Structure 1
Amino acid sequence: MARRLFLTGWTALFAMIFSSCATAQGSESGVNALCPDYAGTQYEQAINALCKKANAGDKAAQVEVGLAALHRLHVQGEPLKAAAWFEKAARQDDADAMYLLGTQYASGTGVALDEVRGRQWFVRAAEKGHPLAQARLSECYALGIGGKRDDAAAEKWVAKAQASGNFYAKRTLSPKDMILLEDPMVRAEAGDPVAQYYAARYNRDNRYRADYDRMEKWYSKSAGQGYAPAQVKLGILYTQDAPGKKDLKKAAALFSAAAAQGDAEGQYELALLHLQGQVEKPDLAEAEGLLRQSVAKGYDKACSLMGMLYVRGIGVNENREVARVWYRHAALHDIGALQDMLLLTPAGDEKERGR
């Protein structure tokens, strides 16, 4: 009975929010009650403009408003509003919205925790070819989240996710590899490069400790066998100010090795070294080429950096509209990209701006 009352209360609240979609709040922008509260911030006009488009049924704007509500940038988010916008877009067959709504139900963020419904949204997005949803759906089947466990289905969806080429989806473990997350040390000692990669940060007490010597040891073993993710992580270690570890020449060589294997993170990190002038012969054209390879795989940091290049006209013609598109690609993962996207969002027509 208590659960039934809780769900009834949730339904009423959700209905109340939806019923207020067209209700103005008295501000001159006419923003409705579902619009996230950015009043008094530098993003206010952009949010108001997006909300108007979203209210008119623009599903891309609905996703963007949902992201803005979910994260709220440096303040507490409004995940209930985010779920409302994602559902509006999802009902228009937007795969990003389906995936995002699935993540909210799967984690109970802003909505009642409902792993079954989360899995259902992952199914819908996965069937539309969304690689991140395919990866999450594989995990659901492998672990029995939101329904029965099915290793065959898990293998099917992880294969589809990895075949997509998406950077994040490719990192999804298949059921047979999930044992690595439990205790990778036996397989690491036996020479498995993937297990060695996980062993670099493995602690039996599950508490993170920045043991740079341990990380260097295991990343080096894995990288030495040509495992690109380990090459990248070892390279990043060499770019940081860890005691006695910084070595940009080694880092560039490792990033180059990973990039040559098509690793999106390696391509991004090598491009970044070129743009920062931290390689022997910085090459702007090579940096742009590496970034374009990385963004093609959906790596969010590369998308953000590409957006920055277009904002500043570095190596490309300055184009703020193109920059905004790149920030939009990154916004699914990167809150900073969402912020940059909002700053580039047109705040309405000239007549409205002059009021």
Structure 2
Amino acid sequence: MRRFFVALAFGFSLAFALSAPAGAQEDSAAENPADPMAPALEAYRAGQFEKALLVATPLAEKGNVSAQLMLGSIFNNGEGVTPNPEEAARWFKKAAEQGDAGAQYALAMLMEYGRLKAADPATARKHFRDAAEQDHVAAQAELGLMYTTGRGGPQDLAEAAKWFERAAVKGNANAQYYLGTLYAAGKGKPRDLGEAARYFGLAAGKGQPQAAYQLGLMLQDGVGMDKNPARAADLFEEAAQKGVLGAQTSLAFAYLNGEGVDRNDTLAAKWFAEAAMRGDSLAQDRLARLYFLGQGVTRDISAALLWLTLAERNGMTDETLRSAIEPEITPEIRAAVEAEIGKLEKAGSAPD
């Protein structure tokens, strides 16, 4: 929901800016008394959501699109009220039926990510398309994603590429990333690693973490561009800090091997631990090795066994470590580790 809240808040602000009279975007709502929504806008911007709701509701009921958008935003985001996605969808639908692209996008987002009772992927795709055809950039990116996955209708990678490209040229970072993946895979676009790298670079420059990770992989191996381990490590760290699982493991290996960065076993252990806690089996196995060797961490056979066991349960096989660790495992250690894993599984937090 956090992603949707941010996207909706931006779309909501933009919708009001576009619906305001010329020059009013830079003025306060109080300076435009002819606009019946001015008091509601002023209250909303001041965080007085109850007042905004009181003023906007009768206007929304009379068909004012800006008021309908405001109510949808207030109910979706829980601004001064209990969050109510169903009520938010009702108001967005009213505005969407009047052809408002922002409302069409918001309604589609609620259907896809807001867990509406009557959510329908096909209807969400239709609303994304309605907004996309009005040049709503975020809707174009979402529509491309639906064509990529085949959600809400037939899969069509060429159509996906078309919509990603339309959004990408307008600077949408997600569309740039997705378009890069199509070029890299040669699906929907001819395979072109140079173009893939270019789009990953554009998206990464705007803070898109998955693009930073993919560009890092290409730089690490010299795929589609000159090899640059130092830049790759920088990109891995950027993506790892934003929670990209693969980037966390890749950054840990960079520190472990001194590839693009000074070797640092402590930081390697830190990033393996981050990824291991989120269920990456390779990170779990390498963290187990570090605990067994006392490399970057204090040697701890119990911790080594714990992470090795979790890695094995997630499909990783490490016969070398298993053979090395077995002679040091006492019945007490084995029982303690099994008990700890049992607690994690019971709490529903076992990394897998």
TM-score normalised by the chain length of structure 1: 0.43
* Higher-helix-fraction structure: 2
Which structure has the larger Rg?
Answer: 2
Higher relative contact order at CA 8 Å, sep ≥6: structure 1 or structure 2?
Answer: 1
TM-score by length of 2: 0.43
